[in-house]
Structure 1
Amino acid sequence: MGAAVEWFTASDYWWSRLVFQRALAGMYLVAFLTAALQFRALIGERGMLPVSRLVARVPFKQAPSLFQLHYSDRFFASCAWTGCGVSVALIAGLDSQLPLWAGMLLWLVPWALYLSIVNVGQTWYAFGWESLLLEVGFVAVLLGNDDVAPPVVLLFLLRWILFRVEFGAGLIKMHGDACWRKLTCLYHHHETQPMPGPLSWFFHHLPRPLHRVEAAANHVTQLIVPVLLFTPQPVATAAASLMILTQLWLVLSGNFSWLNWITIVLALSALRLPGKAPASVPAAPLWYEVLVLAVTTLLVGLSYQPVRNMLSRRQVMNRSFDPLHLVNTYGAFGTVSRVRYEVVIEGTAEDVPREDSDWREYEFKAKPGDPRRRPRQFAPYHLRLDWLMWFAALSPAYAETWFGALVERLLENDRDTLRLLRHSPFPPDAPPRYVRARLFRYRYTSWRELRETGAWWERTFVREYLPPTRLAGVARSS
């Protein structure tokens, strides 16, 4: 190999790049599959927040997207399923069978398609892991294939993203809720997190001293270990490995979509796995070197705003500073709720709704409902409506743009909306006459209560969230 390869590329990370790319393609597949299966009820032509309304008021330069040029449910579905197909091809290694430039274009396809989805997804896509997938996916476009060893500067960029994800999450905790500094947040977190998993009840019942150890270990992993990513090997590999173990602990304790998984994928790029590039790999072409260095310079320059935000006492979480989501700021759980509230939606077929009417409860796929139903594991798949229902319980303000439309769709027995739910209590040809919503306080049962009742939750009525509503009334309010 020529001298150019020696300074520009790092053959020691050949297998690290390969594992990273295949794992990232898996993340793309999950994201596109989530979009394809849920979009009609959320942002489709008859969705709760239709894309057509957004593009009518938001110009292309603020939210660049293919759907700014044309939108139909058929077109969106074709884009989402195309993303799934390209992701499968990347998992299978098609990019390695193509020339360098063609492999890069193949990686550009899922990035451009998913950017188009996120930029019209509105509140359903306002999560940090959406921007994180786009930021990582953009760097992956330039990472190369079997025609070139992985460029050093891009490996640095991936570590820089991982550093900002972890360090930003650590700082938001220090800047935010005092319980993180007191090491007491995990007394509550496993019970009040957005979407508990099948083991969350058990995590909640761990001894409190162990919860304090968890919180302290979290601070070490997010505030100290990330710095070690920029040290020589094998220290950097050890740091990345510790981050992976921490993320796997979080995977076991809750459902956080693909946030934990893509963080693990990022950490894989920092591992120095056994094996080197084949001896026959040619030197990187000049055009490729120039392009990689130019984009790296751009991304480093764009990092100014995220770094400034990260170091500010008024640090905000999960914000993009450019419409292409090239460099973003991250963070999670700067504040931890002490009490869990849930919005329970019910319907009745009776003509006159009364308190003693036959009110039947809608059951969601993942969010707590029936106290006897154990939480399920869904991550990395993202149940967007279930997540937003958690925010709706925190404050009606989080749901004011879509909750009325949800109620309207339930009153219509809308097929696409009902597909987002685990169970509707009404047959397809007999929708409810009225729908109401009530706010409950949920708490985990104790070991004794679980044995005696079989219930994982105990819930207490708090107040009315939405009074009994008919279809005509909802239509007028929307």
Structure 2
Amino acid sequence: MAHLNIAIPPVKIRGGREWRDLTALTYHHETQPMPGPLSRQAHLLPRWFHKGEVLGNHFAQLVVPFFLFAPLLGLWMPGPVPLIIGGVAGVLIIVTQVWLVVTGNFAWLNWATIVLAFSAIGVPGAFIRAPAEGSGTLPLYWIVITSAVGILYLVLGWPALRNLFAHRQLMNASFNRWQLANAYGAFGTVTKERMEIVIEGTLDEDPDAATWREYDFKGKPGDVHRVPRQFAPHHLRLDWLMWFLPLGRSLDDWFTMLLARLLQADAATLALLRSDPFAGQPPRWVRAVSYRYRFATREQRRQNGVVWVRDRRRVIVGAAELP
């Protein structure tokens, strides 16, 4: 079932200070859930450019969407102007979403928005432009149907609209059993550091003297020499869950199960990864270690050929074995 959402741009304005002091995009390209092949280049752009990105984001999400409704003025204001205004608004939204596609991997979210924004370019004119000569006014049945749908959506969307101005604003929520006119908002705050959980395994019997080898994921950062790939609109759910993991206060049950499946060398689980360092053989032990990842500077890239620079922080899960 397709869900109709009401986006919540104010969640950013009312969220982290970085959206108000225009520094959010200084961190975002590096700390977003799953960077793309051009994310590093975007991160290394000047600070003044990142501030411009934030201003453009606020304009595209807080101002432009209202102009998508301009073609409705065609009912009272014949002529091309309302359609042009709506079309320009659609183009601006598409441009900002394409920038997000180019600089990141946000699964299908940007693509869905682009498809919807295209509906503002020219298509509404088929319904609201002045009728052909001799055809009279708009058919009564069309006015009744569209008015009924509009009123119904306003009724369903009222709780989500009230949520926009609530003191305790809900970022992602549904307000009716049909999940229509939901509240949606993302990245109310931007993380300043990129912490990654790296899973390691070993075939050695003694974990204290073992040689540990890393499991490499398809999308999330791992090997510091590997350039991130473009996966969107495909959604690598496991890689996204791994991004959320360091943000929680405790390890989730799914992560414990993931470690257990790796100890079993479960084929279905290994298929979710980029590579298995043990070629299908069950490891004796596995553990999880946290690292701080940063994009390499241009000089570090030239000298060492690395995309990321990382430093080890601590062991999250000590050596674990099957019972």
TM-score range, shorter chain: 0.7 to 0.9
Q: Name the counterpart of 1:373.
A: 226
Q: Name the counterpart of 1:171.
A: 10
Matched, 1:410 2:262: yes
Q: Name the counterpart of 1:319.
A: 173
Matched, 1:359 2:212: yes
Q: Name the counterpart of 1:328.
A: 182
Q: CA deviation at 1:284?
A: 8.5
The alignment of Structure 1 onto Structure 2 pairs a total of residues equal to 303
SS in 2 for 1:135: coil
Matched, 1:443 2:294: yes
Matched, 1:259 2:112: no
8 A Cα contact 2:90 2:121, kept in partner: yes
Q: CA deviation at 1:315?
A: 2.0
8 A Cα contact 2:83 2:125, kept in partner: no
Q: Distance in 2 between matches of 1:216 and 1:178?
A: 14
Higher strand share: 2
Q: Name the counterpart of 1:198.
A: 37
- Which stretch has the larger CA shift, 240-249 or 324-333? 324-333
Which residue of 422, 432, 437 corresponds with 2:283?
432
SS in 1 for 2:171: coil
- Contiguous gaps of at least 5 residues in structure 1: 1-110, 112-133, 137-160, 473-478
Q: Distance in 2 between matches of 1:379 and 1:210?
A: 24
Higher helix share: 1
Q: Distance in 2 between matches of 1:351 and 1:221?
A: 57
SS in 1 for 2:316: strand
SS in 2 for 1:182: coil
Which residue of 294, 297, 301 corresponds with 2:155?
301
8 A Cα contact 1:175 1:315, kept in partner: no
Q: Name the counterpart of 2:236.
A: 383
Q: CA deviation at 1:251?
A: 0.6
TM-score by length of 2: 0.88
Q: Distance in 2 between matches of 1:222 and 1:253?
A: 18
SS in 2 for 1:425: coil
Q: Name the counterpart of 2:3.
A: 135
Q: Name the counterpart of 2:135.
A: none
Q: CA deviation at 1:211?
A: 0.8
Q: Name the counterpart of 2:78.
A: none
Matched, 1:226 2:85: no
Q: Name the counterpart of 2:197.
A: 343
Mapping of 1:389-400 within 5 angstroms? Answer: 389-397=242-250, 399-400=251-252
For residues 213-269 of structure 1, what are the alpha-carbon distances to aligned partners after superposition, in whole Å with 9 as ceiling and x for unaligned?
Answer: 111111111111112112222111111110110100111110001111111111111
Q: Distance in 1 between matches of 2:69 and 2:25?
A: 30
Distance 1:233 1:293, change over 3 A: closer
Distance 1:262 1:274, change over 3 A: closer
8 A Cα contact 1:175 1:313, kept in partner: no
Q: Distance in 2 between matches of 1:306 and 1:194?
A: 26
AA matched with 2:63 = I
Q: CA deviation at 1:208?
A: 0.6
- Which stretch has the larger CA shift, 191-200 or 314-323? 314-323
Which residue of 240, 244, 249 corresponds with 2:90?
240
Could you list the structure 1 runs, at least 4 aligned residues long, displaced by more than 6 angstroms after superposition.
283-286, 288-292
Q: Distance in 2 between matches of 1:412 and 1:284?
A: 66
Q: Distance in 1 between matches of 2:273 and 2:182?
A: 32
Q: CA deviation at 1:274?
A: 10
Mapping of 1:75-224 within 5 angstroms? Answer: 111=1, 134-136=2-4, 164-165=6-7, 168=8, 170-224=9-63
Q: Distance in 2 between matches of 1:314 and 1:377?
A: 36
8 A Cα contact 1:176 1:335, kept in partner: yes
Q: Name the counterpart of 2:79.
A: none
Q: CA deviation at 1:364?
A: 0.3
Q: Name the counterpart of 1:12.
A: none
TM-score by length of 1: 0.60
Q: Structure 1 vs Structure 2: percent identity of aligned residues? A: 48
Compare relative contact order (CA 8 Å, sep 6+) and give the higher one, 1 or 2.
Answer: 2
Matched, 1:452 2:307: no
Q: CA deviation at 1:400?
A: 1.4
SS in 2 for 1:303: helix
Q: Distance in 2 between matches of 1:299 and 1:274?
A: 18
Q: Distance in 2 between matches of 1:401 and 1:319?
A: 23
RMSD, matched Cα: 2.2
8 A Cα contact 2:295 2:309, kept in partner: yes
SS in 2 for 1:471: coil
Which residue of 247, 268, 272 corresponds with 1:420?
272
8 A Cα contact 1:171 1:310, kept in partner: yes
Q: CA deviation at 1:395?
A: 2.3
Q: Distance in 2 between matches of 1:190 and 1:396?
A: 24
Distance 1:298 1:401, change over 3 A: farther
